[in-house]
């Protein structure tokens, strides 16, 4: 299914459930429809199901809470990184379920996402829609670069891959992607592709008011979305 059709279905589900935001796994479903690389993941209901999925994905595994009532997952203990074995996975899965079961309604809790663990430099991609100018895209290096140094670059959508590259070169933290201190250079081309494909999605989906892809991991092989939120 193409991205636009996926998005329309997911947006209408969100509206039916009276929410204006789209959950991480739904955002990733939409982005896949635009050929954007996202972490492999399956939302599971039981520890046994999770163990099966983890076998296919391969360890280490990440677990994340999937609830319509949880927007910032790690704030409430809803992200567990670096799970190395089936035994650990089952224990952590049941712990996370128990943590959220009492707190939220059963309707809100959709399960736990069993997810591929990725690595690389953390980049953030943001989008904000201005009623007059349309979608403004932002990219920055993650962590302290954004929080402390406000090291980000902006462009109005639509943008091409070449324009995405210009944005990246404006960042002081660009050196981190460019083979800093003997590290392998990151696959900057795939990050530029990701940015221009996000731009294509924005053109087709004017109902997007805000989008937050944070983080996107970029390593020598790929740029892959590890978390995402959309507001409609
Ligand atoms: P939150 O809803 O709190 O923003 P995230 O999904 O962004 O939750 O997870 C919190 C942090 O965990 C991320 O900023 C990132 O550093 C790390 N993380 C999340 N998903 C993955 C993953 N699939 N692989 C590796 N690290 C991850
Ligand atoms: Mg995040």
Mean pLDDT, to the nearest integer, of 2-28?
96
Q: What is the atom index within ligand 1 of the atom nearest the CA of 115? A: 23
- Residue 79's Cα: distance from chain center in Å? 13
- Tokens found for residue 47: 């520890």
CB-defined site of ligand 1, < 6 Å: 39, 62, 64, 72-74, 79, 81, 115-118, 122, 214-215, 226-227
What per-residue confidence (pLDDT) applies to 206? Answer: 97
Q: What is the atom index within ligand 1 of the atom nearest the CA of 73? A: 2
What are the residue ranges spanned by the domains of the chain? Answer: 3-116, 121-231
- Residue 103's Cα: distance from chain center in Å? 25
Residue 144 has pLDDT above 80, yes or no: no
pLDDT in tens, 72-129: 999 999 999 999 999 999 999 999 999 998 888 888 999 999 999 999 999 999 999 9
Mean of per-residue pLDDT scores for the chain: 95
Question: Nearest bound ligand to CA 75?
Answer: 1
Cα four-point dihedral sign 37, 228, 155, 219: negative
What per-residue confidence (pLDDT) applies to 179? Answer: 83
Task: Identify the band that residue 147 occupies on the pLDDT scale cut at 50, 70 and 90.
Answer: confident
| 221/224 Cα distance (integer angstroms) | 10
Residue 180 has pLDDT above 90, yes or no: no
Residue 1 has pLDDT above 80, yes or no: no
Tell me the CATH number of domain 121-231, given options 3.40.50.720, 3.40.30.10, 3.30.470.20, 3.40.50.300.
Answer: 3.30.470.20
Kindly give the distance from the C-alpha atom of residue 14 to the centroid of ligand 2, in angstroms, as a whole number: 20
3-state per-residue secondary structure call for the chain: CCHHHHHHHHHHHHHHCCCCEECHHHHHHHHHCCCCCECCEEEECCHHHHHHHHHHHCCCEEEEEEECCCCCCHHHCCEEEEECCHHHHHHHHHHHHHHHHCCCCCCCEEEEEEEECCCCEEEEEEEEEECCCEEEEEEEECCHHHHCCCCEEEEECCCCHHHHHHHHHHCHHHHHCCCHHHCCCCCHHHHHHHHHHHHHHHHHCCCCCEEEEEEEEECCCCEEECCEEEEC
For a pocket test of ligand 1, which of 63, 81, 217 has the largest count of ligand atoms closer than 8 A to its C-beta? 81
Q: What is the atom index within ligand 1 of the atom nearest the CA of 142? A: 14
| Ion ligand 2, residue ranges at CB < 5 A | 214, 227
Cα four-point dihedral sign 2, 5, 228, 86: negative
- Give the pTM: 0.96
Question: Nearest bound ligand to CA 71?
Answer: 1
For a pocket test of ligand 1, which of 37, 78, 79 has the largest count of ligand atoms closer than 8 A to its C-beta? 79
Task: Identify the band that residue 18 occupies on the pLDDT scale cut at 50, 70 and 90.
Answer: very high
Kindly give the distance from the C-alpha atom of residue 163 to the centroid of ligand 2, in angstroms, as a whole number: 25
Tell me the CATH number of domain 3-116, given options 3.30.1490.20, 3.90.1150.10, 1.50.40.10, 3.40.50.300.
Answer: 3.30.1490.20
pLDDT in tens, 181-224: 788 899 999 999 999 999 999 999 999 999 999 999 999 999 99
Residue 66 has pLDDT above 80, yes or no: yes
């Amino acid at each position: 299914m193409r991205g636009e059709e996926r998005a329309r279905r997911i947006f209408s589900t969100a509206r039916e459930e009276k929410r204006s935001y789209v959950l991480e796994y739904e955002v990733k479903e939409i982005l896949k429809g635009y050929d954007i690389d996202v972490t492999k993941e399956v939302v599971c209901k039981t520890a046994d199901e999770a163990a099966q999925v983890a076998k296919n994905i391969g360890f280490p595994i990440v677990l994340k809470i999937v609830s319509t009532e949880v927007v910032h997952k790690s704030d409430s203990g809803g992200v567990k990184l670096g799970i190395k074995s089936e035994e650990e996975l089952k224990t952590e899965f049941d712990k996370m379920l128990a943590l959220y079961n009492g707190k939220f309604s059963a309707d809100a809790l959709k399960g736990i996402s069993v997810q591929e663990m990725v690595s690389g430099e953390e980049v953030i991609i943001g989008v904000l829609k201005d009623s007059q100018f349309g979608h403004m895209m932002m990219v920055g290096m993650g962590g302290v670069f954004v929080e402390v140094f406000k090291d980000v670059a902006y462009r109005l959508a639509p943008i091409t891959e070449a324009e995405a590259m210009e944005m990246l070169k404006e960042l002081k933290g660009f050196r981190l992607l460019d083979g800093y201190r003997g590290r392998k250079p990151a696959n900057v081309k795939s990050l530029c592709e990701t940015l221009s494909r996000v731009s294509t999605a924005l053109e087709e989906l004017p109902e997007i008011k805000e989008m937050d892809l944070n983080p996107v991991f970029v390593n020598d092989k790929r740029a892959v979305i590890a978390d995402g939120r959309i507001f409609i």
